[in-house]
Amino acid sequence: MQSASPASSTPPAVAFVGIGQIKRLGDPLDIPAPSGGCSTEGGEGKASCGSSGGPDDMPPEIWEKVKNHPCYSEEAHHHYARMHVAVAPACNIQCNYCNRKYDCSNESRPGVVSQKLTPEQAVKKVVTVASEIPQMTVLGIAGPGDSLANPKKTFDTFRMLQEQAPDIKLCLSTNGLALPDLVDEICRYNIDHVTITINMVDPEVGAKIYPWIFWDHRRITGIEAARILHERQMLGLEMLTARGVLTKINSVLIPGVNDQHLIEVNREVKKRGAFLHNIMPLISEAEHGTVFGLTGQRGPTAQELKAVQDACAGGANLMRHCRQCRADAVGLLGEDRSEEFTQDKIDQMEVVYDLDRRRSYQEQVEIERQAQHQAKQMALAGASALPVDDLKLLVAVATQGGGRVNEHFGHVTEFQIYEVSAQQTLFVGHRRVDLYCQGGYGDDEQLPSVVRAINDCHAVLVSKIGACPRDELSAAGIEPVDAYAGEFIEKAVLEWFNDYRSRVASGALVHQHRGDAQIRQGAFTGAQQAA
């Protein structure tokens, strides 16, 4: 773990401008309660809903907003897809992890240039995708620059889409500089979900991340730039909270710059009503041509990322299923179908926006989710019938979606990782791996890297597995399990866990701690999958 930035431990000397008020950071705010809403107020340790919450954890009107948003609900990301349209090329700030030749790395993996669209092209693309993929429920504008530095293109897209496809949820992501001026516009178009990238609440930390901002018709640098950005971000967040817009905060974890400081960020955004906090690893490579890439600033290891996330427990709820997707991503999180919807292909497609078909698909999904929820509750009841212990371990799951164990070990490009105890199963992340099965044959050279990627797990649940990987996993101490093929994931994980505990209790098995995993970072893209 990197040491805390010296600046992060001292309270900032600057004041920030609230809604018609001036307060010092850390002072209590008098913001109105979110209109309805999942309260994030309260002291640390107070339970509140988050991306892993369900209908029992939040008011019905909030559940309505999040239940089919794949980023705001962890459960939804197994079933529902999002898409982004790259209509916003300009940006009003500079981040040291960004190279303007590439997508905005606040919401996108740097290194992949998007096809930029006009609002008209974008709307046609969304309607086309929604006709083909009924589980696509959310349109996000996340770059390739900043959505609110391009307000006309962003809001024209939302306005036109709302007229043509009113059932699609609207979502945007911003660095926050222009946000306070545009909150009314955001509310006018019923944009219920806004992400603000907040990497600091101390301008001295900010000055290490942002070399300049463009503000009030001039370029401003240094601590002054970071201070203005910070004040605008806090004000924008407060204004959104006051209007009942669900706000997610993205933070890029930069070791040695803001790692420990993000715990304070988490606290401050919780105070201001943020719904979720998504702490993402810095992706930094020299070939991206960013300041951080060229100066050798590294990204965090997966263990460092998890340590900061765990240290935020009790604060704003964390999102842990982010895939750092591209500004033109299409599909379920973790898959990218953008290649199926390039402009030339869309020009050839006949589009019929069939709202009934979309609705009936989504009704089926809701039935499936209810069954999934009930199965999980029953498995949890089974767990609590066993003697109490404090065992908590990780399980890797091979899935191709739908919330079920339904992928062959050899076909996995991403494992989902669950932390399981007698009290709960919790999605804690994903692990990208190279395909083991190449054209019908297992690639034995890949196998050790797959094993290393899940080396901290006690078991891997798959729909099927060959003899060779089965032996290698067992030799490494990871139990290969295909007994739950087709079952709901949480139920399967809990049932395996109960069985494991019974074996330990009977002496048939000695419980042992696992080692560390070697985890690959970065977004999952079609190109990487094929490579």
Instruction: Kindly list the residues in this chain that would bind ligand SF4 in the complex (CB under 6 A).
Output: 91, 93-95, 98, 104-106, 145-146, 175
Query: How far apart are alpha carbons 254 and 298 in whole angstroms?
Result: 8
User: Does 195 engage in binding with ligand CLF (CB under 6 A)?
Assistant: yes
Rank residues 172 and 517 by Cβ distance to ligand SF4 and give the closer one: 172
Helices (H) and strands (E) counted in the chain, each on its own, are: 16, 20
Among ligand CLF, ligand SF4, none, the one that 196 touches (CB under a kind-dependent 5 to 8 A) is: none
Among ligand CLF, ligand SF4, none, the one that 194 touches (CB under a kind-dependent 5 to 8 A) is: none
What minimum distance in Å lies between the beta carbon of 110 and ligand SF4? 8
Give the x/- contact pattern for ligand CLF in 116-155, rule: CB under 6 A.
----------------------x-x-x-------------
What minimum distance in Å lies between the beta carbon of 321 and ligand CLF? 7
Q: Which residues contact 197 (CB under 8 A, 6 or more apart)?
A: 106, 107, 173, 174, 175, 176, 249, 250, 251, 252
Query: How far apart are alpha carbons 108 and 104 in whole angstroms?
Result: 6
What minimum distance in Å lies between the beta carbon of 226 and ligand SF4? 13
- Single out the residue of 122, 178, 269, 325 in contact with ligand CLF (rule: CB under 6 A): 325
Q: Which residues contact 73 (CB under 8 A, 6 or more apart)?
A: 51, 53, 66, 67
Among ligand CLF, ligand SF4, none, the one that 173 touches (CB under a kind-dependent 5 to 8 A) is: ligand CLF
Provide φ and ψ at 482, rounded to 5°: -115, 15
What minimum distance in Å lies between the beta carbon of 107 and ligand SF4? 8
Query: How far apart are alpha carbons 520 and 460 in whole angstroms?
Result: 18
What minimum distance in Å lies between the beta carbon of 248 and ligand CLF? 6
What minimum distance in Å lies between the beta carbon of 308 and ligand CLF? 17
User: Does 173 engage in binding with ligand CLF (CB under 6 A)?
Assistant: yes
Of 266, 176, 251, 238, which Cα lies nearest the Cα of 22? 238
The span from the first CA to the last CA of the chain, in angstroms, equals 32
Determine the size of the site formed for ligand CLF (CB under 6 A).
18
Residues between 206 and 235 with contacts to ligand CLF, criterion CB under 6 A: none
Query: How far apart are alpha carbons 385 and 505 in whole angstroms?
Result: 13
- Single out the residue of 282, 322, 393, 405 in contact with ligand CLF (rule: CB under 6 A): 322
What minimum distance in Å lies between the beta carbon of 234 and ligand SF4? 17
Of 330, 325, 277, 432, which Cα lies nearest the Cα of 110? 325
Rank residues 21 and 529 by Cβ distance to ligand CLF and give the closer one: 529
Rank residues 106 and 137 by Cβ distance to ligand SF4 and give the closer one: 106
Rank residues 339 and 389 by Cβ distance to ligand CLF and give the closer one: 339
What minimum distance in Å lies between the beta carbon of 126 and ligand SF4? 22
Residue whose tokens read 């300049």: 212
- Order of strands across the sheet with 246-253? 318-319, 276-281, 246-253, 193-197, 169-174, 136-141, 81-84, 330-331
Among ligand CLF, ligand SF4, none, the one that 238 touches (CB under a kind-dependent 5 to 8 A) is: none
Rank residues 94 and 157 by Cβ distance to ligand SF4 and give the closer one: 94
What minimum distance in Å lies between the beta carbon of 31 and ligand CLF? 22
Query: How far apart are alpha carbons 500 and 494 in whole angstroms?
Result: 10
Q: Which helix (H) or strand (E) holds 252?
A: strand 246-253
Quick check: 47 and 336 in contact, CB under 8 A? no
- Order of strands across the sheet with 392-397? 425-432, 414-421, 392-397, 459-461, 479-481
Residues between 82 and 101 with contacts to ligand CLF, criterion CB under 6 A: 82, 84
Q: For Cα atoms 376, 379, 385, give the angle at the middle one, nearest 5 degrees.
A: 145
Nearest to ligand CLF by Cβ — which residue?
A: 140
Task: Give the footprint of ligand CLF on this chain (CB under 6 A).
Answer: 71, 82, 84, 107, 138, 140, 142, 171, 173, 193, 195, 248, 278, 322-325, 333
